[in-house]
Structure 1
Amino acid sequence: MSVEPTRLSGHIIDLEPLSWNHLDDLTIAAKYDDVWTYLDEPTPQTEEPVAALISEAISEQEQGLRLPFAIIARETKKAIGSISYIDIQRKHYAVELGWAWVTPSHWRTGAAREAAYLLIEHAFEVLGAIRVAFKTDSRNIRSQRAISGLGATKEGVFRNHRILRDGHIRHSVYYSIIREEWPSVRQAVRSRQSAYTATQDAH
């Protein structure tokens, strides 16, 4: 499975390979505490910590460990968040979606859902993946609802999975979509997206 940088286009957002060109936009987008509650990073209030996050992502990409993207709002052409392929298992044709966040002003707009859908679609239809996985903090109910809304199946909970920087012992909830489920998941997500778009157009 060859996982290479690419650009993906949606209705309300585009995905671009994460680069230093996104630093200014992401510095503005990332400065909200709510974004980082469950990402185990302090809220980056200045350019320096955002630059460190971009540097880490690019370094992991060069090592073949991660493929990071900037989420671009089509209306403004500004980066509003980021999402990545992580835990890339080329031999087993599997990837995980992680490091996903969107600035609060774009919550409940469909931006995060479309970003995830584009990467799921790319994984199954271009990369030939047989599994796309997700995990989230057991306390993050909003994220769990969003993942379920994509049609993913809850697999279980990794108890005492990680110790976070504040000392909290995190349980991680795991989900997945497998190749055999993808056609029905694709149809369901597209139907919901069409209904959502029609509702927005009506307003």
Structure 2
Amino acid sequence: MRDTATVLFDADGVLQHARHGWVGALDAIGGEGFASVVFARDLPAMRGEARMRDCLVAAAEEHGVALDPDDALQLWSRFDIDEEAMAVVAKVRRAGYGVRLATNQQDVRRDLMRRRYAGVFDEEFYSCELGACKPAEAFFASIIDRLDVPARQIVFVDDSARNVAAATSCGIRAHLHDPSSGAAGMRRMLEGAGVRM
């Protein structure tokens, strides 16, 4: 039996990267400090307890601005997929390992990512569907239950030390990815974790 059955990949900072200036664009729509208000209010959407559109409307009301929420939500599409990182994912899959996405996202971003990643992963795990966000251990416990494999057979790649620590505490073999190391760094990390490509 292989030491590794599947590899979980985080999205932001690992497989995709936000475009420079999108947070500033949110402030430009709602005024200075609006982005901070939005990020303070989006946790229910990240856990699937509310729609992101409703959280954005509530943030606008709190900040005292009028905006078209649907126009503002387009800002969440401002990210680029790292094609070199995706080539590593494809290589892992061709080697016979399961490949799965494990990411904190609200409903709008989830729907967009599902379209962009169609056919890439065996499964996609989104916090808004799991009802818990990284670094909560419940996020990882839910994935372990759904995969029905021992936690020790799961390798996880994330760019957040807190998320890596939480996954490790659940028995997952978690590794911290430095985004500046790029796809080459991720490949070396996976090989060091025993993932043979």
Query: Above 0.5 in TM-score?
Result: no
**Structure with a larger share of its residues in strand:** 1
State which structure, 1 or 2, has the greater radius of gyration over its C-alpha atoms: 2
**Structure with a larger share of its residues in helix:** 2
TM-score bin (small chain)? 0.3 to 0.5
